[in-house]
Structure 1
């Protein structure tokens, strides 16, 4: 397929229409499973449930092609960690060719809202750390060359473990030994007007210490204890964690950066506190907050863009049993629990 023309009035209209959905919740479309419906069926499922933002973890052609021309769904597309060395060691032209061949030959460029370069590299895949920033620079240059840098945001998702301190939120601070790498990355994000992407899971914190971490605080329950911190009040762990990242950014002189939550969710089975009702409560509250434009105590007027994990259970994932049970939908398209995205 030939690359799409990037500069037609029709495409600009598509971009305007897609932007109208900016307040909608995003959902991660992981595909590490052998029992999932084909991508066209997944697209129909998304549309029938008013889900207009999706995170794909890699530019799989079969998945991308299913979204081609679906202007009502905007995409965050991941670049796998193992691709970074060739992008970092190449040129801007090579990065542009890679984007055109692997992404823009399958979907209209205005369908893409974010490029997520790598995932949780600094702690979970540190081998690729030296390649991360050069790859980001080359991709950003490629987007500028293609005339897309104003419309496609580029960043890299981080695990919550990049924070050395997250409690109380105002004490948020990054792990000191990653600062030599993190500072140039934050400067790049500021220059590119791109967000800090973070993956945060209150479930992990609760499951690791259910005796000392109040379940109500993790689940947005009204009975949760109120944490008072420098004149602000926190009633849930999600807000507190986001604001800990904001405080950490401010501490390093990058308080202007937006924060996007690229993964969060609650499992329906497989671990301490993992069940259908708790997943419904957590994810339902996240959806309600996003649709309501709710900010955090530290940034009350700045709604947080959030991508829920995930669309389906993934029986091929490794790790703890609960890792395979985050699906909002069953593979037959039925909801795992009652949740509305409209």
Structure 2
């Protein structure tokens, strides 16, 4: 199968998110998302024990919880946080932090915070530079895949995206995207076959000129690469920060389908370039 980006995989996702190591080669790195919004959540120490038991050394933390950061650092987890630089580094060694994310899917739905997004990213980067960490801890922001529109960026998002892309290019940070083929299938099952969303072996290829795609995940990542190229930022790497398949709440949300998607999605979801 030919793709524009050739999917040069540098890190892999299992279940939720790829989080790269602080140093060294990013290929083959497995990570998880850890949030504190919900019920019946394990204590940070129990979550840390699960990481150790399963050999997970990468995590994405959504809050600068002073109870969570030391526990995950003690587990040897290196990660990406959607939190302020100083608050993170006060509780976790800089060597354990690879990325700081300003918000999550700020350009999806209510965009009232959108004008503040790039200034917030610059404000996160400034103390890192002052501490001499700008080369090891990068600043970015994760986007919903809906930021795309037919192989290009949504025109309504461009006033924010263009200065952001310049910032990412200048600082060597990746463009982060949360990719969920399940959502595309659930919203439009007549035009998105289940096999195509699930990496099914029987999925009919979808062709785009000389390119052919046998699954929606590859097509989504390649569309993002194409959108970056159209804006003149083809050198900005792409990171898939969330992916997965649910196990309940929809007829196709079964443990069997989740296992099938996550097994292959974990192998593919990646730095795309």
TM-score range, shorter chain: 0.7 to 0.9
CA contact (8 A) 1:75 1:111 kept: yes
Count of residues in Structure 1 that have an aligned counterpart in Structure 2: 254
Structure 2: stretches of 5+ with no match in the other structure: 1-19
Q: Does residue 1:30 correspond to 2:35, yes or no?
A: yes
CA 1:191–1:115 in structure 2 vs 1: closer, same or farther (change >3 Å)? same
Counterpart of 2:193 in structure 1 is: 214
Q: How far 1:75 sits from its partner (Å)? A: 1.2
TM-score normalised by the chain length of structure 2: 0.87
Bigger Cα Rg: 1
What are the superposed Cα offsets for residues 77-116 of structure 1, whole Å, 9 maximum, x if unpaired? Answer: 013xxxxxxxxxxxxxxxxxx633x111211111011101
Counterpart of 1:131 in structure 2 is: 116
Which of 227, 232, 252 aligns to 1:248? It is 227
The 4+ residue runs of structure 1 with deviation greater than 6 A are none
Q: How far 1:21 sits from its partner (Å)? A: 6.0
Moved more, 277-286 or 15-24: 15-24
Counterpart of 1:110 in structure 2 is: 95
TM-score normalised by the chain length of structure 1: 0.70
Q: How far 1:146 sits from its partner (Å)? A: 1.0
Counterpart of 1:149 in structure 2 is: 134
Q: Higher relative CO (CA 8 A, sep ≥ 6), structure 1 or 2?
A: 2
What are the superposed Cα offsets for residues 284-330 of structure 1, whole Å, 9 maximum, x if unpaired? Answer: 1122336xxxx7xxxxxxx549xxxxxxxxxxxxxxxxxxxxxxxxx
Structure 1: stretches of 5+ with no match in the other structure: 1-14, 80-97, 166-171, 296-302, 306-342
Q: Report the aligned-residue RMSD.
A: 2.0
What are the superposed Cα offsets for residues 118-166 of structure 1, whole Å, 9 maximum, x if unpaired? Answer: 111122341111211111112112111111111112100111111121x
Counterpart of 1:336 in structure 2 is: none
| Higher helix content, 1 or 2 | 1
1:229 and 1:77 map into 2 onto residues whose CA distance is: 36
